[in-house]
Amino acid sequence: MTSYAERLIFWRKRFERAGLATAGLDARYLLLAAADLDAAQLISADQDPIPADVSATFDAMAERRLSGEPVARILGEKEFFGHNFLLNKDTLVPRPETELVVDVALERFPSDGRLLDLGTGTGAIAISILLEFPEATGTAVDISKGALDCARENAIRHGVEDRLTLLQGSWFEPIEAQKFDLIISNPPYIGIDERNEMNAEALGFDPQLALFADEGGLAAYKLIIARANEFLAGDGWLIFEIGYRQAEAVSQLLDSNGFSEIAKLSDLSGHDRALLAQR
C-alpha cells in the first residue's frame, strides 16, 4: 500500500514539474488538511499506509492546485497576524504584507478606542486589532454581502462579534454620524489598465470588485479621503494600504484634504506599502 510519504512525494514532484515555486510546502499543507493531521502527527505517520479516503481527498485538492487555484482557496482559510481566517469567493486572501498595516495601527490606537475598517473583506484587519485590545470596539463596512458574511463568521470564530458592528454599503455610506480614533482601509487599488500585469491566480480566483478601481486605482482613496474628516476624531489616524507605485499620488490627495502629518511605510521588500496620516 502507498504510504503518506510516498503520496506526498508523488504530488510534490508533479507540482515541481508544473513549475509551482512552493511545490513542497503546497503538497504538505494539502496533505495535512486532507488527513486532518498536524505537522508532528504527519511525521509520525510518515511510513503508515495512507487511508483510501484521505488519499482521494488529497488527490482532489492537489488537482485543484495544479489547475492554478491557490492553496488558501482550497483550504478555505489563511493565517494572518497569528490567527486563522475563513475565506470565501467574495474575499481576498489576507496577505502577509498587510500585517504591516495592523502593526502600525496597534502603535497608535488607544486600548479602549473605536476603529472603522472600510472594505473589510474577511475582517482580518479589524479582528486582529480587536484581539489585541479587549476593551476596543469597531465597525467594519463592505459593499459585498458575501464578504460581510465571511467577516461575521470570523468575528464569531475569534470571539469579537459583540465588539464589531458589520455594515453593508459603499465606504461611509451606511455609517451614522460618529467619530473614530482610527480609520483603516485596504481598498481596491489596482488600475483597470494594470490587469495585464496581474498573475493568473489573482485574476482567476480573487473577486474583481476587491482588486480593481477606476482612475488609475485611486478612486477609492479619493472617496474615502474626501469624507474622512467627518468620521475621524480630532487626534485620530487614517491608515491605508497602497499599491507600490501610489505613495506620492495618495499623499498628495491627503495633503490637499488637510492631512499634514503623512508618513510612508515600507514592507520587508522595501516597497511602499502603507500611508499613515493625521490632520
214: CATH? 3.40.50.150
Locate cell 481566517: which residue? 85
Query: So what's the pLDDT on residue 35?
Result: 97
Q: Are 98 and 227 members of one domain?
A: yes
Closest CA to 90 of 264, 260, 209, 223: 209
Locate cell 482601509: which residue? 185
Q: Are 156 and 229 members of one domain?
A: yes
Q: Are 173 and 108 members of one domain?
A: yes
Q: State which residues form the domain around 26.
A: 4-75
Which of 48, 75, 102 terminates a domain? The answer is: 75
Q: Are 65 and 114 members of one domain?
A: no
Using CA atoms, how far apart are residues 272 and 181, in angstroms rounded to an integer?
24
Q: Are 97 and 170 members of one domain?
A: yes
Which of 75, 99, 116 terminates a domain? The answer is: 75
Q: Are 44 and 93 members of one domain?
A: no
Q: Are 70 and 168 members of one domain?
A: no
Closest CA to 205 of 126, 91, 129: 91
Q: pLDDT of the chain along its 279 residues, tens only?
A: 899 999 999 999 999 999 999 999 999 999 999 999 999 999 999 999 999 999 999 999 999 999 999 999 999 999 999 999 999 999 999 999 999 999 999 999 999 999 999 999 999 999 999 999 999 999 999 999 999 999 999 999 999 999 999 999 999 999 999 999 999 999 999 888 888 777 777 778 889 989 899 998 999 999 999 999 999 999 999 999 999 889 999 999 999 999 988 999 998 888 899 999 998
Q: Are 53 and 103 members of one domain?
A: no
End-to-end Cα separation, the chain, in angstroms = 67
Structural domain count, the chain: 2
The answer to whether position 17 is within a domain reads: yes
Query: So what's the pLDDT on residue 192?
Result: 84
The answer to whether position 249 is within a domain reads: yes
The answer to whether position 219 is within a domain reads: yes
Q: Are 145 and 201 members of one domain?
A: yes
Q: Are 70 and 103 members of one domain?
A: no
Q: Are 239 and 104 members of one domain?
A: yes
CB 275 within 8 A of CB 228: no
Query: So what's the pLDDT on residue 18?
Result: 96
Q: Are 220 and 266 members of one domain?
A: yes
Phi/psi for 140 (5° steps) reads -130, 135
CA angle, 216 as apex, 214 and 219 as ends, to 5°?
A: 45
C-alpha 90, offset from chain centre: 12
The answer to whether position 43 is within a domain reads: yes
The 10 Å CB-count burial string (b at 16+, else e) for 95-107 is eebbbbbbebbee
Using CA atoms, how far apart are residues 212 and 130, in angstroms rounded to an integer?
28
CB 202 within 8 A of CB 211: yes
Which of 75, 106, 129 terminates a domain? The answer is: 75
The answer to whether position 81 is within a domain reads: no
